[in-house]
Amino acid sequence: MAVRECHTCTDTLESIIWFCQTLGLLPYNPITKCSNGHNNWCMGQSSRANGKYKWRCREKDCKLTRSIRDGTFFSGSKLEIQQVLDLMFYWPQGVDTHDLILMTFFDDIANLLV
């Protein structure tokens, strides 16, 4: 995956969630039931949630929620999901911030010249 593709897949929180679901890092639906025994989850926005999204039980009169990170690779991390993805993408390449800026800048110039 090229730098530009990585940025495209992670430019908004919604695209990050979709990208992680596609890779299997986040589920499309949790497989564990809520504490009331329901397994009818939907993802929704929450201003109080770390990451701004939570799973919500859709059953009538059930208001239980859980983090989209629960039971995933990201559970227990205090980093934002995008920060974890950036570490996974750039660290193995040995890219530092200065090099990243140069790579992005030269990609933009190269695209203008084509």
pLDDT digits (tens, 9 = 90+) for 73-95: 888 888 888 888 877 777 666 66
Q: What is the mean pLDDT of residues 85-111?
A: 64
Specify the pLDDT at position 63: 82
- Could you count the other beta carbons within 10 Å of the beta carbon of residue 17? 18
Task: For 3-48, write each residue's pLDDT tens digit.
Answer: 556 666 677 888 888 888 988 999 998 888 888 999 899 988 877 7
**Is a pLDDT exceeding 60 seen at residue 113?**
no
Going by pLDDT thresholds of 50, 70 and 90, the confidence category of residue 50 is low
Which of 75, 62, 68 lies closest to 35 in space, CA to CA? 62
CB–CB of 30/55 below 8 Å?
Answer: yes
Task: For 51-64, write each residue's pLDDT tens digit.
Answer: 588 999 999 888 89
Q: What is the mean pLDDT of residues 105-113?
A: 52
CB–CB of 13/51 below 8 Å?
Answer: yes
- Show the 3-state SS of 76-112: CCCCCHHHHHHHHHHHHHCCCHHHHHHHHHHHHHHHH
Q: Which helix (H) or strand (E) holds 113?
A: helix 97-113
| 3-state secondary structure at position 6 | helix
